Amino acid sequence: MLRSLMEAEQRKSYVDRHTLKVPQWKHCGVSTTGFRRSLHDRLQTLSDSILSLLTDGSGLSRLKGVIMAAAFRRGCGVLRSLSHFEWRAQHTKASLKKEPGLGFSFELSEQQKEFQATARKFAREEIIPVAAEYDRTGEYPFPLIKRAWELGLINAHIPENCELSEQQKEFQATARKFAREEIIPVAAEYDRTGGLGLGTFDACLITEELAYGCTGVQTAIEANSLGQMPVILAGNEQQKKKYLGRMTEQPIMCAYCVTEPSAGSDVAGIKTRAEKKGDEYIINGQKMWITNGGKANWYFLLARSDPDPKAPASKAFTGFIVEADTPGIHVGKKELNMGQRCSDTRGIVFEDVRVPKENVLIAEGAGFKIAMGAFDRTRPTVAAGAVGLGQRALDEATKYALERKTFGKLLAEGTPQKDVTIKSDAPDTLLLEKHADYIASYGSKKDDYEYCMSEYLRMSGIYWGLTVMDLMGQLHRMNREEILVFIKSCQHECGGISASIGHDPHLLYTLSAVQILTLYDSINVIDVDKVVAYVQSLQKEDGSFAGDIWGEIDTRFSFCAVATLALLGKLDAINVEKAIEFVLACMNFDGGFGCRPGSESHAGQVDPFHTLFGIAGLSLLGEEQIKPVSPVFCMPEEVLQRVNVQPELVS
């Protein structure tokens, strides 16, 4: 949709009026000439396209339409119940054009193509010939891992700035000279002092090809990326240089120590303890099914640092970096896996293991969020591996069907075509059914909704589950009556609604509940007047809203309040003028929104998250005074440092 709008605007003459000056990117130690050129061209094209939209009155209106119809509708979850705004009818008529033009391009960059080709060649020529033998013996494929490291297919996530200390550089120089002069010629990638700094999509391209060769090898490599990710996301400069820097200089592995015998995906159930004594933490506990557990040089370890069993998960756990040779670590025997047998899977016992406080990531209590962030960044590559495996299975099946003869005919010829033809929409249909089965499984028993999600996400989780089921035409499979009873039980005397039974009410969950009831056309299940009174009570004198009676004000809470009342048809219950005034005050010079007035861009307060809520809230309130959002606002800090932007574009 956004692409088609951009293409339409391209036919006007606005593009030539604005350009984004992008100098040559700094050389980062690897061959990235094609990548820099491609990224330069894309950045300039995309910036020109957005600017052409923003400089035209109708373009801004249409861009707002895109934001409201797409990002806001999906990100904030206002359903078609707000049909009187007719967002879909007004803003989704433009169809995606197939001819080339401006807008988002899904063409791979030159660097991405290079890595994809390298990974594909490596998988087909070096992994596939030996994969069966590794799977039969269960031997750890270190020669393949070393070769993948030499090719730059491992440590792709590590940032470029993980430089070494002077002593490490001196040792590196000695080792490098020895390797070059007396062992083997070293590939160009050997010269880097940091990682490649590739993104998730780039890693997915590599993982897909590796999995095509062997998922056992791919799992060993991907587990390394999972172990690195907490340090990449949360490590300080010293930690990154010490633990990530060494991995770019030699093919060593790490492991992600989170899973326990009684806690896997349920991270909140982890029992491994970390007790602080002086400048150290004493770790005791058991981890299970740790990939690369017996081969790792160091571990990321998640342990409970707050002994209070009632402490929320967001504050109860701490993330540590633990050297694998630390006294007290006992590595168990290699597990006999059903598949992927060459990957190293083991149990690990931590007995009075002493970890210095310098190895804590961020701070005590931050571990849960770090672990979740690592999952978010690495789960896409797991899916990419499944795609590679699926492609290999299809290729092998096709090859077999074209070689194997039965009753005098090839399998491909002798079997009725309806049995061997894979429908083009079969994968989508299969996934649709699986998604529906997964979501519907939460509605099979009474009280399932009380336990289906994290305690702080249950109401929102139910809403999103219902939304997905509705989009798939499977809403009838959900237990409507149980959901309505659950929501009614979550409403408090004050009128607010909580995430689950027994928790405090909050605007976020009040909105989710109202959205669910609107979807079911059952709004009278709750006391609407009390909900309105609850929202009213949270509005401050300056027009802002707090999330609850104790919370701080925030732009997103203004949106939640406005959206809730809009769904109930009660917007006149609040001071609309003051609400508009507050949200406008949260808008920065570059068009971005912060959580409250005075927030500064690129400081963690003004971001796309709050901008989305700010624009959505103003649109619901009928306010048109929205400044153009500069494309600079959406760029990471490291990109801003490399881009020379014309001052008038952000004035």
The set of residues, in sequence order, having a beta carbon less than 8 Å from that of 441 and lying 6+ positions away, is none
Q: Tell me, what's the pLDDT at 605?
A: 52
Supply the pLDDT for residue 297.
94
Give the amino acid at 398: T
The pLDDT value recorded for residue 619 is 75
Q: How far is CA 368 from CA 288, 318, 374, 502, 508, in A?
A: 18, 7, 10, 23, 21
Q: Are strands 273-277 and 253-257 parallel, antiparallel or unpaired?
A: unpaired
Question: What's the confidence (pLDDT) of residue 510?
Answer: 93
**Which of 273, 440, 241, 261 has the alpha carbon at shortest distance from 355?**
273
Q: Which residues pair with 601 in a beta bridge?
A: 606
Encoding tokens for residue 90? Answer: 């007004």
Q: Where are the domains of the chain?
A: 2-26+38-106, 111-375, 454-650
Cα–Cα nearest to 491, from 454, 520, 533: 533
Domain 111-375 = CATH 3.40.50.720: no
The helix or strand, by DSSP H or E, that contains position 287, with its residue range, turns out to be strand 280-291
Nearest to 617 by CA among 556, 541, 571, 537: 556
Cα–Cα distance between 583 and 596 in angstroms, integer? 8
Instruction: Specify whether the CB–CB gap between 257 and 290 falls below 8 A.
Output: yes
pLDDT at 499: 84
β-bridge partners, 593: 587
Bridge partners, residue 539, by sequence: 545
Looking at the domain that runs over 454-650, which CATH code has it been given? 1.50.10.20
Global confidence as pTM: 0.48
d(CA 616, CA 580): 11
β-strand 296-304 against 405-406: which pairing, if any? Answer: unpaired
Q: What distance in Å separates the CA atoms of residue 8 and residue 15, rounded to the nearest whole number?
A: 12
Give pLDDT < 70 ranges for the chain. Answer: 1-106, 160-197, 414-457, 589-591, 599-609, 623-651
pLDDT at 283: 96
